[in-house]
């Protein structure tokens, strides 16, 4: 099972790392986004921390107020057993190149640590954690009346998909990764869809990902089969922008960053057409990752007002479809241990245990995109945190 998860997460990276799918800030010395796979050591840590200085991004602007994250009187110091050894949090962070670890219990900080030279004011790139943000913005667009229903056909909002295999596919089915459209996510194959999609503007006036995806055939009836498709998360981002008339960064600022009180501006990487990537590339501070987790855990309410419909968070963070891996909601992973997660490769995660009112945030620079042992170590650390807060 973990091997399958690893393939999915590693495959998720490729769509964000094809050689020309992001725009380098220096055209005279372009940095291929695919090089992220090869970054190691200080280059990796610095690149993940300063991604907006390497690739083009749009700013998610914060507001005038900051949502408080009080420090609890009692701080935890979890220890746990893993691989036959006793571990402390410091041991774990050093061994697994963790740049930031934040634990919130009942809305208060009970653990906050940094590594790899990162400071509390430094942002860190999200990789696929962004997918869960994009899902949340769909909920916001429904609350705003910009998307009429989650069961609307996607072609209502992205008419360039009319006549394609996406004809008849609903917004809900897109969020469940069950469109039924044929897609090859083999990251070892340079000719796979995930390696080729959305690399450049091939049809003026049409988003590059839309242009590629609308040429694909159908493999399954919509809604019947979960199939990991990173390209479609970008497509959902296009849907939100089309429905709202705003870029994702601007909409996220209006709906979450300003009213909830993020402490610092975020940034969101863009594709060759200038559209923010729905599936990747948000950067924010560790505490703002925590605030995002709290915003979702609190039902999507900001400044006393609902940002998403009352039913949204419950539905988005429960199993909507069986993926053979524990379950999948609306771009959220559902775990057998009672948590739901936003996950990104190289060790990014927001893990929420709703019954325990517990949120664990990790940012890392793992030596590999994912892997069985890396995930097992993370799960052991999480179990140690759970034991420490009881």
Question: Does residue 34 surpass a pLDDT of 80?
Answer: no
pLDDT at 24: 65
| Domain locations along the chain | 2-130+246-389
**Fold designation for 2-130+246-389:** Beta-lactamase (3.40.710)
Structure tokens at 49: 């921390």
22 within 8 A of 209, measured Cβ to Cβ: no
β-pairing verdict for 108-114 and 124-125: unpaired
Say how far apart CA 371 and CA 376 lie, in whole Å: 9
Spatial neighbors of 34 by CB under 8 A, at least 6 apart, are: 17, 18, 19
Give kind and range of the element (H or E) at residue 377.
helix 372-389
Spatial neighbors of 29 by CB under 8 A, at least 6 apart, are: none
pLDDT category of residue 4 using cuts at 50, 70 and 90: very low
* Residue 117 backbone class (left: φ over 0; alpha: ψ -120 to 50; beta: rest): left
Q: Where are the beta strands (DSSP E) in the chain?
A: 57-60, 79-82, 85-88, 98-105, 108-114, 124-125, 266-269, 282-284, 301-302, 305-306, 333-334, 340-344, 348-353, 358-364
Cα distances (angstroms) measured from residue 238 to each of 143, 192, 278, 310: 18, 22, 7, 24
* Residue 161 backbone class (left: φ over 0; alpha: ψ -120 to 50; beta: rest): alpha
pLDDT at 369: 86
Question: Does residue 112 surpass a pLDDT of 90?
Answer: yes
β-pairing verdict for 333-334 and 358-364: unpaired
**Cross-strand bridge partners of residue 349:** 343, 362
104 within 8 A of 358, measured Cβ to Cβ: yes
Mean pLDDT for the chain? 91
Q: Per residue in 35-67, pLDDT tens?
A: 677 788 889 999 999 999 998 999 999 999 999
- The distance in angstroms from the start CA to the end CA of the chain is 29
Structure tokens at 314: 């419950």
pLDDT category of residue 19 using cuts at 50, 70 and 90: very low
pLDDT at 20: 41
Which range has the worst mean pLDDT, 107-116, 124-133, 181-190, 277-286? Answer: 181-190
Q: Per residue in 299-351, pLDDT tens?
A: 999 999 999 999 999 999 999 999 988 899 999 999 999 999 999 989 999 99
pLDDT at 16: 35
């Amino acid at each position: 099972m973990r091997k399958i998860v690893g393939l999915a997460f590693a495959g998720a990276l490729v769509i964000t790392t094809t050689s020309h799918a992001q725009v380098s800030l220096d055209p005279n010395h372009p940095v291929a986004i695919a090089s992220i796979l090869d970054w190691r050591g200080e280059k990796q840590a610095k690149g993940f921390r300063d991604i907006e200085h390497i690739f083009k991004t749009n700013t998610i602007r914060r507001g005038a107020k900051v949502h408080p994250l009080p420090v609890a009187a009692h701080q935890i110091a979890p220890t746990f057993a893993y691989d036959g050894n006793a571990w402390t949090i410091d041991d774990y962070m050093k061994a697994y190149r963790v740049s930031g670890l934040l634990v919130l219990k009942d809305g208060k900080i009970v653990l906050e640590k940094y590594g790899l030279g990162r400071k509390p004011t430094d942002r860190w790139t999200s990789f696929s954690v962004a997918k869960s943000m994009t899902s949340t913005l769909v909920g916001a667009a429904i609350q705003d009346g910009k998307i009429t229903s989650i069961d609307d056909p996607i072609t209502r909002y992205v008419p360039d998909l009319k006549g394609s295999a996406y004809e008849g596919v609903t917004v809900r089915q897109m969020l469940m990764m069950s469109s039924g459209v044929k897609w090859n996510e083999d990251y070892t194959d340079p000719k796979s869809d995930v390696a080729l999609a959305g690399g450049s503007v091939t049809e003026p006036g049409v988003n590059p990902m839309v242009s590629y995806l609308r040429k694909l055939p159908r493999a399954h009836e919509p809604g019947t089969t979960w199939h990991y498709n990173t390209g479609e998360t970008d497509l959902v981002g296009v849907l939100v922008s089309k429905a709202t008339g705003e870029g994702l960064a601007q909409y996220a600022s209006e709906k979450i960053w300003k009213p909830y009180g993020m402490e610092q501006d975020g940034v969101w990487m863009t594709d060759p057409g200038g559209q923010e990537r729905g599936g990747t590339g948000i950067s924010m501070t560790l505490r703002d990752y925590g605030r995002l987790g709290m915003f979702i855990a609190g039902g999507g309410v900001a400044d006393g007002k609902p940002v998403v419909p009352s039913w949204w968070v419950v539905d988005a963070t429960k199993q909507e479809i069986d993926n053979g891996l524990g379950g999948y909601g609306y771009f959220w992973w559902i775990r057998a241990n009672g948590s739901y997660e936003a996950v990104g490769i190289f060790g990014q995660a927001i893990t929420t245990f709703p019954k325990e009112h517990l949120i664990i945030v990790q940012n890392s620079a793992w030596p590999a995109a994912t892997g069985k042992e890396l995930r097992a170590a993370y799960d052991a650390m999480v179990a140690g945190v759970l034991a420490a807060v009881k």
